[in-house]
Chains A and B, each alone.
Chain A
């Protein structure tokens, strides 16, 4: 397999983009990425997206975006794996270049979630779950995460307030990210007083509904060497995807994200790294409970102890395991199908020393992990600055 490099990045501010359609939002990330890479033509475009059909009434998004960004003619399609769509699109792009089928590809993630009203968006997001035996019973996606959180609190004797450190950290980091949806610091008190949405999950446990797009240009080593944008070359040292049962009730142990375990272990092996080598971890904090379960599944903490890392300050930019360094899903925002690509863009900025006051010192190796549904698809990437 050939080494694959990130040679260009682009992202839009995350938020409610009333004046921009799905296609425009995608454009606003892809064009800057192409410009950043200094290329006008690519071999393929892979678009991560979850809900274009349900929320915008638009499928066939690959060709739509290709045409709209001036790439008419290229191979293009949408990659869907619920909230893990961006990570899955990334994996597809890596396979194409690493396998020698293409030399330069664009991977984009785009989501438009604010054209619909709340209950329809809620029903759309529930499509990440088992439609016949979870969603059909009236269980929302938030409620599924609430079921996990309640059980976690019971099984490991963790008070709700302990999860607040994840939200406080995410919001703090978002204040240094010009593209974040909520660049506003919060306190543990804000967290404790937040509106309950599906007990024990409150508004501050939960990532927001929003619009956004991010894009990266990937190239083979040979092509990457001819590009000189003056920035540090970023190599993709690992790219893995693993799956689990769609439904929480079908998991061997709902308190263990098995796909995150498999995907991360394969990634460590591919990259030849251990946890100690990784300088930052863009995890999938769609809900605070997911942040805790991810840290445990990836080996950062024992079962039931993921929250401790947050409590002890280990997850801050100065900590041992900086997470959500640009605000994470909680405060940068979670435009579902785009999130996995935002994580890659942000990890690249960190490795290139371009993260401003959120810069993790001496960042050389970064991990990103994008989770589809309540844990059924997990895409892990490890990036290395050379």
Chain B
């Protein structure tokens, strides 16, 4: 992504800032200004907790340009506790351990690097929820 585009979406990538619709009260992520549920204007900021569960997952072996250095890497659709779903990489886990329904939480990790001189992009990734690991142990 371009520097400007990375900068523009920084609050989403670093802290999952979305919106909550004032008309139908649905949480929205990423922010989109018109509520996808009721089509009313949606501009009230709302920050997601970063907690959710795995809706589905896979592994990218054949990455698009820019991600070659990281392949293979696991990706998932994560259903946030507040309702919205996000597409993100999974991290800090063995891909073989991922299961649908697994509780996960958002962390900030390096997403990509554009060469030695280029911008380094950080974004949300999701790891298995730590408290659950503690309980399991």
- Interface set of A (CB-CB < 8 Å, partner B): 118-120, 122-123, 126, 130, 132-140, 142-144, 146-148, 150-151, 154, 196-201, 245, 247-250, 254
Offer 25 A-B interface pairs, CB within 8 angstroms, sorted by A.
Answer: A119-B62, A119-B64, A132-B30, A136-B111, A136-B123, A137-B75, A137-B87, A137-B111, A138-B73, A138-B111, A139-B60, A139-B75, A139-B87, A140-B62, A144-B87, A147-B56, A147-B58, A148-B56, A151-B77, A196-B61, A198-B58, A199-B58, A199-B59, A201-B58, A249-B77
Contact B30 A143 (CB under 8 A): no
Nearest residue, chain A, Cβ from B88: A137
Interface of A is mostly: helix
The interface bits of chain B over 50-68 (1 if a CB of A lies within 8 angstroms of the residue's CB, else 0) are 0000011111111111111
Asked if B47 is at the interface (CB within 8 A of a chain A CB), the reply is no
Asked if B107 is at the interface (CB within 8 A of a chain A CB), the reply is no
Q: A119-B68, A134-B87 are in contact. Are A197 and B111 (CB under 8 A)?
A: no
Asked if B70 is at the interface (CB within 8 A of a chain A CB), the reply is yes
Give complex CA distance A240, B87 in Å: 30
Q: How far is the CB of B78 from chain A (nearest CB, A)?
A: 8
The interface bits of chain B over 65-100 (1 if a CB of A lies within 8 angstroms of the residue's CB, else 0) are 111101001011100000011111100000000001
Give complex CA distance A144, B100 in Å: 15
Give complex CA distance A137, B9 in Å: 12
Give complex CA distance A341, B68 in Å: 34
Contact A250 B57 (CB under 8 A): no
Give complex CA distance A134, B75 in Å: 10
Give complex CA distance A283, B87 in Å: 27
- Interface set of B (CB-CB < 8 Å, partner A): 1, 5, 9, 12, 30, 36, 55-68, 70, 73, 75-77, 84-89, 100, 111-112, 123
Contact B30 A133 (CB under 8 A): yes
Residue of A123, A132, A254 near B64 (CB, 8 A) is A123
Nearest residue, chain A, Cβ from B64: A123
Give complex CA distance A132, B123 in Å: 11
Give complex CA distance A187, B113 in Å: 43
Residue of A132, A140, A196 near B63 (CB, 8 A) is A140
Residue of B36, B60, B100 near A138 (CB, 8 A) is B60
Q: A123-B65, A248-B87, A249-B84 are in contact. Are A147 and B60 (CB under 8 A)?
A: no
Q: How far is the CB of A376 from chain B (nearest CB, A)?
A: 13
Q: A133-B30, A143-B75, A151-B56 are in contact. Are A138 and B70 (CB under 8 A)?
A: yes
Question: What residues on B are CB-neighbors of A254 within 8 Å?
Answer: 55-56, 77, 85
Question: What residues on B are CB-neighbors of A150 within 8 Å?
Answer: 56-58, 100
Contact A249 B85 (CB under 8 A): yes
Q: A147-B75, A154-B100 are in contact. Are A120 and B65 (CB under 8 A)?
A: yes
Q: A132-B5, A147-B75, A249-B77 are in contact. Are A154 and B56 (CB under 8 A)?
A: yes
Q: How far is the CB of A94 from chain B (nearest CB, A)?
A: 29
Question: What residues on A are CB-neighbors of B111 within 8 Å?
Answer: 136-138
Contact A140 B85 (CB under 8 A): no
Q: How far is the CB of A165 from chain B (nearest CB, A)?
A: 22
Residue of B64, B70, B86 near A249 (CB, 8 A) is B86
Contact A122 B63 (CB under 8 A): yes
Question: What residues on A are CB-neighbors of B85 within 8 Å?
Answer: 249-250, 254
Contact B56 A137 (CB under 8 A): no
Give complex CA distance A212, B83 in Å: 42
Nearest residue, chain A, Cβ from B59: A199
Question: What residues on B are CB-neighbors of A146 within 8 Å?
Answer: 58
Question: What residues on A are CB-neighbors of B75 within 8 Å?
Answer: 137-139, 143, 147
Give complex CA distance A148, B76 in Å: 10
Give complex CA distance A47, B122 in Å: 39
Question: What residues on B are CB-neighbors of A118 within 8 Å?
Answer: 62
Question: What residues on A are CB-neighbors of B77 within 8 Å?
Answer: 147, 151, 248-249, 254
